[in-house]
């Protein structure tokens, strides 16, 4: 089974789409998720919740800092996988795979501005579509009372 199809199956089974006929504005709601944890369960749950928010119409932006920035490195492979519900034929999925799926669904993903200078990685090592957060625009997003900020 193709990995992308398997990941889509995981999300379809683990996170049933919530039907929402209530479109508040022509512009979708925005949210910022800041993930710094190196804990596998925390990273995985953040990705699961981010996907649920995206499915519900949220324009999601993910900022990866500290150890969580590793999820955005091409070729990163976490040591353990998340066990999904027994009904899921895909079996297991990793937070970096969920992040790739979210990128493919149009979610904006950046690493912190100081992530690369404090690692052995370069911008070329990042997954396609992952940017480097500029402090000014990120601070504006964090200060905007219309944009909730979730931190993991």
Q: Is 143 inside any structural domain?
A: yes
Q: Is 24 inside any structural domain?
A: no
> What DSSP element (H or E) covers 131?
strand 130-132
Q: Is 7 inside any structural domain?
A: no
Q: What is the CATH number of the domain that holds 145?
A: 3.40.1260.10
Q: Is 130 inside any structural domain?
A: yes
Q: Is 127 inside any structural domain?
A: yes
User: pTM for the complete prediction?
Assistant: 0.79
SS3 7: helix
CA distances from 69 to 23, 47, 89, 92, 112 (A): 33, 13, 29, 21, 8
pLDDT tens across 58-91, in order?
999 999 999 999 999 999 998 666 566 655 555 6
Mean pLDDT over 128-139 rounds to 97
Q: Is 2 inside any structural domain?
A: no
Q: Is 139 inside any structural domain?
A: yes
Q: Considering its fold, how many domains does the chain have in total?
A: 1
């Amino acid at each position: 089974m193709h990995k992308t199809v398997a990941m889509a199956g995981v999300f379809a089974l683990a996170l049933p789409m919530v039907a929402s006929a209530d479109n508040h504005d022509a512009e979708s709601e925005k949210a910022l998720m800041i993930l710094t944890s190196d804990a596998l369960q925390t990273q995985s749950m953040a990705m699961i919740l981010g996907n649920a928010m995206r499915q519900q119409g949220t324009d999601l932006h993910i900022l990866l800092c500290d150890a969580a920035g590793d999820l955005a490195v091409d070729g990163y492979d976490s040591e353990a996988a998340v066990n999904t519900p027994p009904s899921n034929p895909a079996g297991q999925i990793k937070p970096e795979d969920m992040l790739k799926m979210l990128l493919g669904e149009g979610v904006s993903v950046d690493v912190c501005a100081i992530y690369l200078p404090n690692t052995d990685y370069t911008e070329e090592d990042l997954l396609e579509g992952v940017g480097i957060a500029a402090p000014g625009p990120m601070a504006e997003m964090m200060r905007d009372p219309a944009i909730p900020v979730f931190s993991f």
